[in-house]
Amino acid sequence: MKKITVIGAGLTGLTIAYLLRDKGYEVTVLEKDSKVGGAIQTHVANGYVFEEGPNTGVVSNPEVAELFDMLGLKIEEANRNAEKRLILKNGRWHPLPSGAVSFLKTPLFSAADKAKMMFEPFQKKGADPDESVASLAARRIGQSFVDYAVNPFISGIYAGDPEKLVTRYALPKLYRLEQDYGSFIKGSIQKSKIKKTARDLKATRKVFSVAGGLGGLIYALQNGVGAQNIVCDITDVSINKNGDEGYCVAYHRNGRQVLYKSDVVITTVGAYVLPEILPFISLEDMDAITDLRYAKIVQVAVGVKKNVLNNRFCSFGGLIPQKENRRLLGVLFPSYCFSQRVPEDCSVLAVYMGGIRHPEIFDWSDERLKKTVEAELSDLFGINERGIDFIHIFRHRHAIPQYEKSSGKRFEAINKIEEENKGLIVAGNLRNGIGMADRIKQAFDIVASF
């Protein structure tokens, strides 16, 4: 039986380790932090539950439902009204249209673009494989759609710039709709007619969390892997080839060096960490990987001593287009989406700042961030500074990898490295998608090959 080492105890690493343990493999997970979970950390204080990283995922593939089933964990689906998303235009919130009538009525898009949308099925297919998300949407629908739908949507997912993200890497399903069916509308209609298998139907596209926060998923995975198989607080982990017989793993813990042999090594860390972990990889291949740019995000959890999510704001949250020129990227309403997250009649908000749009905000002092959040929440939602119970600031230096033009070379380099070094797998969000559902699917795909 092979001995397998997984580096990183975030969602990817823990899911891979859990699935491998389920198949009977001997697995050791190495983690530099004192706690597991990586980007996913749930906090509980004074009756409030709030997240440090992701607030929700989407059940966009069957593997998400299957993982929850295997763990015996229940998916907590968001309140049905949480399907509503708000977009800010000229300082006022408007719901993103969800059907033909609301699309025609919305003030978010110009009349010309609404008319152009009718002709979307007849537009020519794009020929540039590296076309950006903004260019594709402007070509097929129009600039007001880019400004008031694509821009805030990309900000909400990637904290990124739609002019820089390449559609076939960043939104591969959208890219395929145009390439395979010639149109988003025609493609969506034709795909909806394809008969779904029982497994396909597990991908409900519902927004999910776990009762008590996403930390519950991490806790269940940690238990499934077994605490004795996870080594935290390690430093200086590095892998070297052990001739033709797998790898030699070295790390430090409590001032002592630990060395052992491993048949398989799976990394799940960010691109910027790989050079120190894999010193035997050529500079050329490594450069193609470390070229990956990350968006820095400041996430601020705000507890409010009132239920401020009244009729106007009953939704998943609000996204702010770049054109609105504000300091915030958007605000989510987790206590509206999920139950038992706040003391009675209170609210908790997740405020996002920085991203590719405003990288400088990452270095602002806590005091400046706090004052900005207070001023923006007062302006955008009428939340009075005295109504705020607490503000917690979380900084994520390497929050979201940007699947830009360099991605093609990165994927090629990873494939080449894996081809040349049998038993080495480079996983994590540097490829195969950035969301939690993508991380879970990648883990299933990797473990299926064992």
What does the binding site for ligand FAD look like in residue numbers (CB under 6 A)? 7-13, 30-33, 38-40, 53-57, 234, 237, 268-269, 273, 277, 297, 299, 396, 399-400, 428-429, 434-436, 439
- CB neighbour list of residue 243: distance below 8 Å, 6 or more residues apart: none
Q: Of 142 and 270, which CB lies nearer to ligand FAD in the complex structure?
A: 270
Q: How far is the CB of 3 from ligand FAD (least distance, A)?
A: 18
Give the full edge-to-edge strand order of the sheet including 3-7. Answer: 230-231, 26-30, 3-7, 264-267, 424-426
Spatial distance between the Cα atoms of 196 and 203, rounded to a whole number of angstroms: 10
Q: Which residue do the tokens 């993103």 mark?
A: 96
* Residue 438 CB, nearest approach to ligand FAD (Å): 7
What residue has token string 């990183």?
8
Q: How far is the CB of 173 from ligand FAD (least distance, A)?
A: 15
The least CB distance from residue 143 to ligand FAD, in Å, is 27
Cβ nearer to ligand FAD, comparing 8 with 303: 8
Among residues 141 and 203, whose Cβ is nearest to ligand FAD? 203
Contact 318, 87 (CB under 8 A): yes
Phi, psi of 339 (to 5 degrees): -85, 165
Based on CB atoms, which residue is closest to ligand FAD, 9 or 328?
9
Least distance (Å) from ligand FAD to the CB of residue 360?
Answer: 17
- Return the percent helix, strand and coil in the chain, to nearest 5: 40, 25, 35
Instruction: Give 33 or 291: the residue with its C-beta nearer to ligand FAD.
Output: 33
Q: Which is nearer to ligand FAD, 109 or 403 (CB)?
A: 403
Minimum CB–partner distance for residue 156 and ligand FAD (Å): 8
Output the smallest distance, CB 429 to ligand FAD, in A: 5
d(CA 104, CA 187): 21
User: Among residues 370, 353, 394, which one has the least CA distance to residue 50?
Assistant: 394
Q: Which is nearer to ligand FAD, 32 or 327 (CB)?
A: 32
Could you identify the residue written with the tokens 């003030």? 107
**Phi and psi, residue 392, nearest 5°:** -115, 130
255: left (phi over 0), alpha (psi -120 to 50) or beta: left
- The answer to whether the beta carbons of residues 248 and 240 sit under 8 Å apart is yes
